[in-house]
A and B are shown apart, each in its own frame.
Chain A
């Protein structure tokens, strides 16, 4: 139920006063309400749940988390012996 998927905003439009967008989910395009995400514009990634954009995906935070995870164990690898001398 709480499934929400990140997609890229490809168009922003108004539907009888409601701010809506077309969002591309890896090739599948669906409409989503952007009214509660006024800062979202074309090119941004948004997290969508049942046709409603809940939040922006923060690219800097995504990068930071991923780099931290990538770097995990790196120090151990550096410290590890390089094999029989």
Chain B
């Protein structure tokens, strides 16, 4: 496919790799923020191609993984109601709540449906005026315009039996959280390419200046990722900080302004809990007051929920880049994609699921 295949060209990848080897003089620790990048890195073995001085640690950019347990439990409580058609992206169905998950609920008779686009959920509500259609609106800035569109579209069309359970998160506060954490080892970042197609990268310029780090906005194909690593290492070796845009074929400095206007018409910034990490100030989005009647948390009273995390799961440390999946005793044993203990084993973008799927069962000493 055009704009994909050429960025998987092994010949070009080899050239970039030899350049990375040439410019690297000492150890550097880089973090790819986005879970989509983590998946691509592990799938294509990008981290194994790099010289041993360069370590890639995986960031918290998997929205399925960081959706707080309390929101999952709320989703489960709402989906259990007989009047409700609960709609979600497919990734969320296996995410373990305190006692069950959406897929198990579905097998027990709940009406849980996977949608490709948030607008599909609005359409479903139009087709079933006698039912309550609830959409689980999760994601980073990349997904925010599509989710905002569902809310504004439902309001414009007067679809009153539609609502959204919102658990949106933002990338820049998460990068700040990583950099502020006492055990932080990350010296440079591969920035989240698709988040920046929407938001641009001005916020990242502020982060880079404040924390004195290089951030390279990077795409998702192996050649993009290697180019992102090369640019970051060059900046580090030169002692430079700031932002570079590797993904210039789709990312501009200002981003998509019309999409941003759409996002702010429906959402506003709020504090948000991140599963495994804790509360990060101003790191989430919630529906604006004007969209209250489309807010599932307002429409459905679910009462006080007692959440319970499995003790064996170390996903919080994995999401902060402090540990790797094979550091976990449960990895591949009591925790597998079929029977996950934590969300990082569920989503295709979770580090544990990527390691499991691509056969990374234990730390490799020799590269």
Q: Count of A residues near B, CB < 8 Å?
A: 40
> Per a CB cutoff under 8 Å, which of B16, B143, B248, B251 touches A50?
B143
Contact, CB under 8 Å: B119 / A54: no
Contact, CB under 8 Å: B248 / A58: yes
> B residues within 8 A CB of A6?
1-4, 250
Contact, CB under 8 Å: A52 / B251: no
> Per a CB cutoff under 8 Å, which of A37, A51, A72 touches B15?
A72
Q: Residue A1 at the B interface, CB < 8 A?
A: yes
Q: Residue A13 at the B interface, CB < 8 A?
A: no
Q: Residue A55 at the B interface, CB < 8 A?
A: yes
A-binding segment of B60-68, B316-324, B359-367: B60-68
Query: Which of A10-31 touch B at CB < 8 Å?
Result: 16-18, 25-26, 30-31
Contact, CB under 8 Å: B89 / A50: yes
A54–B250 alpha-carbon span in the complex (Å): 9
A31–B248 alpha-carbon span in the complex (Å): 25
> Per a CB cutoff under 8 Å, which of B61, B149, B220, B223 touches A33?
B149
Q: Count of B residues near A, CB < 8 Å?
A: 55
Contact, CB under 8 Å: A49 / B143: yes
Contact, CB under 8 Å: B120 / A36: no
Task: Produce 1/0 per residue, B153-178, CB < 8 A to A.
Answer: 10011000000000000000000000
Closest A residue, CB atoms, query B5? A26
> Per a CB cutoff under 8 Å, which of B35, B89, B138, B198 touches A54?
B198
A49–B160 alpha-carbon span in the complex (Å): 26
Chain B CB within 10 Å — which of A8, A47, A52, A73 has the most?
A: A52
Closest B residue, CB atoms, query A59? B249
Contact, CB under 8 Å: A65 / B142: no
Contact, CB under 8 Å: B34 / A2: yes
> B residues within 8 A CB of A35?
149, 258, 262
A65–B220 alpha-carbon span in the complex (Å): 14
> B residues within 8 A CB of A30?
116
Contact, CB under 8 Å: B35 / A2: yes
Q: Residue B349 at the A interface, CB < 8 A?
A: yes
> Per a CB cutoff under 8 Å, which of B6, B36, B250 touches A3?
B36
Query: Which of A31-81 touch B at CB < 8 Å?
Result: 31, 33, 35-38, 45, 47, 49-52, 54-59, 61-62, 64-66, 69-70, 72-73
Closest B residue, CB atoms, query A32? B117
Q: Residue B139 at the A interface, CB < 8 A?
A: yes
> Per a CB cutoff under 8 Å, which of B12, B19, B143 touches A2?
B143
Nearest chain A CB to B180's CB is how many angstroms away? 23
Contact, CB under 8 Å: B120 / A1: no
> B residues within 8 A CB of A56?
250
Contact, CB under 8 Å: B15 / A69: yes
Closest B residue, CB atoms, query A54? B197
Contact, CB under 8 Å: A57 / B258: no
Task: Produce 1/0 per residue, B116-127, CB < 8 A to A.
Answer: 111110000000
> B residues within 8 A CB of A55?
197-198, 250-252, 256
Nearest chain A CB to B217's CB is how many angstroms away? 12
> A residues within 8 A CB of B116?
30, 50-51
A57–B16 alpha-carbon span in the complex (Å): 23
Nearest chain B CB to A52's CB is how many angstroms away? 4
> Per a CB cutoff under 8 Å, which of A31, A38, A49 touches B258?
A38
> A residues within 8 A CB of B270?
none
Contact, CB under 8 Å: B118 / A51: yes
6 A-B contact pairs sorted by A residue (CB < 8 Å): A1-B35, A1-B140, A30-B116, A36-B145, A50-B143, A70-B15
- CB-based closest 7 A-B pairs: A51-B117, A52-B146, A26-B1, A62-B249, A36-B258, A6-B3, A2-B142
